[in-house]
């Protein structure tokens, strides 16, 4: 039935085919994959997305909590040994290519698939290396700058404990640029990475997207692109809502 319908659709004038395509597109129907015989684009994405999503969630949690923690420690111990140590690590994490890090984990962690929990260790650490390094440096820079503001000096002169000054006043304002970066970062991570998924043998969205480009599977390319766009919009929307929780001066009307 689907083959007969496709033939009838292709027999229509080009402008009418385009209208039919747009109608299906708006309903979330991206058609049939050119390279995955008998499978719709929605089915192909639904099979691969859980792998990328699971790795992305684990990596995002590690990146956010560890990055903010490391950055805060560096800012509070500026120019000390621990600060220099984390800055060296963050520089290495930002400059070493992901495929080099991925191959370095081979032999230490399961090198193919995610059938067991240990299989997530390598992909999570490798995919989170660059954003973790970036958030560490961004948190440090922002917190160092905020600590030099007048209201921080005023809070300390009033005798407020150092813990409250840092974590209730300084850190909340320092996190605004960090949260801005986290939104698009999460959307990017959860949609997978071709290099990492290829090295570790994970059939995620990142590998599907690259394969679809090489094989000119246009319906699959469009489906994955729309999926990423929707996730990006949702991430930015959540970031805007989180702004209000972090800084009460920001009001959403």
Q: What is the pLDDT of residue 9?
A: 64
Q: Which two tokens stand for residue 25?
A: 């597109």
Distance CA 107, CA 93 (A): 20
Instruction: Confirm whether pTM is higher than 0.95.
Output: no
Q: What is the pLDDT of residue 184?
A: 87
Q: Are 101 and 129 contacting, i.e. CB atoms less than 8 angstroms apart?
A: yes
3-state secondary structure (DSSP) of residue 40: strand
What pLDDT tens digit does each residue of the chain (253 aa) get?
445 555 666 677 888 878 887 888 888 888 888 888 778 888 999 988 888 888 889 999 999 999 999 999 999 998 899 999 999 999 888 888 887 887 777 666 666 666 777 778 888 888 889 999 999 999 999 999 988 888 888 888 888 888 888 887 888 888 888 988 988 888 888 877 777 887 788 888 888 888 888 888 888 998 888 888 888 889 888 888 888 787 766 665 5
Q: What is the dihedral of CA 188, 193, 194, 199, to 10 degrees?
A: 180
3-state secondary structure (DSSP) of residue 109: strand
Q: What is the pLDDT of residue 136?
A: 94
Q: Which two tokens stand for residue 118?
A: 């240990």
Q: What is the pLDDT of residue 204?
A: 85
Q: What is the pLDDT of residue 161?
A: 83
Q: What is the pLDDT of residue 66?
A: 94
């Amino acid at each position: 039935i689907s083959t007969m319908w496709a033939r009838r659709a292709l027999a229509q004038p080009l402008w009418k085919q385009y209208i039919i395509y747009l109608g299906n597109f708006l309903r979330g129907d991206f058609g049939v994959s050119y390279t995955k015989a008998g499978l719709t684009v929605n089915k192909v994405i639904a099979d691969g997305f859980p792998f990328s999503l699971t790795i992305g969630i684990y990596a995002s949690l590690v990146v956010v909590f560890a990055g903010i923690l490391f950055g805060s420690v560096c800012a509070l111990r500026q120019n000390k040994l621990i600060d220099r140590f984390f800055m060296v690590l963050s520089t290495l994490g930002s400059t070493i290519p992901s495929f080099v890090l991925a191959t370095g984990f081979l032999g230490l962690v399961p090198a193919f698939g995610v059938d067991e929990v240990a299989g997530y260790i390598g992909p999570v650490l490798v995919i989170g290396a660059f954003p973790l390094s970036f958030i560490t440096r961004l948190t440090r820079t922002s917190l160092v700058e905020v600590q030099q503001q007048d209201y921080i000096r005023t809070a300390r002169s009033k005798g407020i404990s150092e813990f409250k000054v840092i974590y209730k006043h300084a850190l909340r304002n320092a996190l605004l640029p960090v949260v801005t970066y986290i939104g698009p970062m999460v959307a990017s991570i959860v949609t997978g990475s071709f290099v990492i998924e290829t090295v570790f043998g994970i059939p995620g969205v990142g590998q599907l997207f690259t394969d679809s480009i090489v094989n000119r599977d246009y319906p699959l390319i469009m489906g994955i692109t729309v999926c990423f766009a929707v996730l990006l919009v949702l991430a930015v929307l959540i970031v805007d809502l989180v702004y209000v929780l972090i800084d009460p001066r920001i009001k959403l009307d």
